[in-house]
Amino acid sequence: MTKPITFGIIGGAGFRAQYFYRIAQALPHLFRISGSVVRDEAKRTQMEQEWRVPAYPTLQDMLRAERPDYVVVSVSWTACYEYLFQLAELGIPALAETPPAPDLEGLKKLHTNLTSQGARIQVAEQYQFHPLQMARLALIQSGQLGEVSETTVSISHLYHAVSLIRTMLGIGFEDVSIKAMRFTSKWVAGPTRSGPPQEERIIPSKRDLAWLNFGDKLGIYDFTQDQHRSWTRSNHLSVRGERGEIFDTSVRSLADHATPIYMDLKRINRGEAENAEGYFLKGILAGERWVYENPFAPARLYDDEIAIATCLLKMGEYAAGGSSFYGLPEASQDHYLGMLMEEAIETGREVSSTPQPWAESL
């Protein structure tokens, strides 16, 4: 890469936008933010002072100053569609936040007015690019587990989890039948997006479970509200194939029918004990083999930032004429199935998907 990928941000003062600033600051040789769109004047001034990135009141103002390689759209559902349409008319590739629309009608509108018209849009679904997920996927793709038929995902909610289920199972746009339930108990309230708890409170704990039956493959969804921030609940992911399984970081497979192989996914960090290389993730080993190597080392990024940086890098390749990595059809399918899971949970009835226009057009 001869020069950094340049991108703009719409919604540059939001919670999610902070990731993009931090990543660009940590990886200046890879990324440069040309500017951001922040409508509120006070927030605009604050962001300029904090990140030393020019901020503008409108998209037109930002584009008059400089035309970036692509634009990250990090705003509400309603505003997202309007900005995606404007960028498509201008021929500027866009990286949208998840999910790209609030409901099925909105997803169909995106397909009809944008995807089918050739708009160049990808969606920043980062969970599949977390280092541990990439390591698991490398093992699956190596054939070590044989044909994969089951996965249990207990990591994040709805469309994020569906994305991981489809990724681990190698599912495209096949129809699915869904059964689901909700179990409510009690637990001590933990951290939220606002930060650590200020006092001990007992609150309802809502655990949602869903079984996604694709016929010859099964995805199991298991998520408790705020689980991903909890100090007292664990995340979990397992994958089962005909020759072995991954259970969190434990791997079991076969060398032959009579020789089992047991290994762990071992996270390798630099900067621990006497190592003086700086603190960063080097990669993940399975036995003696690297199944994931951090492409952003030695930058000091945590896993979610590594995953989002991967989205930004892939988006730069896509904007330059490369292949799609997570387009509106994939994002729409994941959100659609997530909404069906919600319906099954709320009603207690089995629901089934039907082919949608974004799948039929591929």
Can you tell me the distance from the alpha carbon of 137 to that of 246, in angstroms, rounded to the nearest whole number? Answer: 10
Q: What is the pLDDT of residue 297?
A: 96
Give 149: exposed, middle or buried? Use CB within 10 Å, 0-12, 13-18, 19+.
middle
Contact 33, 21 (CB under 8 A): yes
pLDDT at residue 194, as a whole number:
81
DSSP letter at 97? Answer: P
**What is the structure's pLDDT at 361?**
59
> Over 80: is that where the pLDDT of 360 sits?
no
Tokens of 40: 């509120």
For the cut 70, the answer to whether the pLDDT of residue 354 exceeds it is yes
Spelled out in words, what is the top-level CATH class assigned to the domain 5-124+321-325?
alpha beta
pLDDT digits (tens, 9 = 90+) for 96-143: 988 888 899 999 999 999 999 999 999 999 999 999 999 999 999 999
Region 128-294: CATH code: 3.30.360
- Mean pLDDT of the region 152-160: 95
Rounded Cα–Cα distance for residues 351 and 252 (Å) = 34
Q: Per residue in 291-343, pLDDT tens?
A: 999 999 999 999 999 999 999 999 999 999 999 999 999 999 999 999 999 99
Distance between CA atoms of residues 136 and 202, nearest Å: 36
Question: Mean pLDDT throughout 80-97?
Answer: 94
Q: Which phi-psi region, left, alpha or beta, contains residue 138 (left: φ > 0; alpha: ψ -120 to 50)?
A: alpha
pLDDT digits (tens, 9 = 90+) for 29-44: 999 999 999 999 999 9
Tokens of 294: 């951090």
DSSP readout, 273-287? Answer: TT--S-SEEEEEEET
Placement of tokens 């930060």 in the chain: 195
Domain with CATH 3.30.360 in the chain: 128-294
Q: Which token pair is 339?
A: 């909404």
The confidence score (pLDDT) of residue 229 equals 85
pLDDT computed for residue 14 by the predictor: 80
How far from 164 is each of 66, 219, 238, CA to CA, in Å? 36, 9, 11
**CATH 3.40.50.720 domain range(s) in the chain:** 5-124+321-325
Strand duo 148-154 + 236-241: pairing: antiparallel
pLDDT of residue 348 exceeding 90: yes
> In this structure, what token pair is assigned to residue 208?
């949602």
- How would you label 199-230 residue by residue, b for 16+ Cβ within 10 Å and e otherwise? eeeeeebebbbbbbebeebbbbbbbbbbbeeb
pLDDT of residue 362: 59
pLDDT, position 182: 96
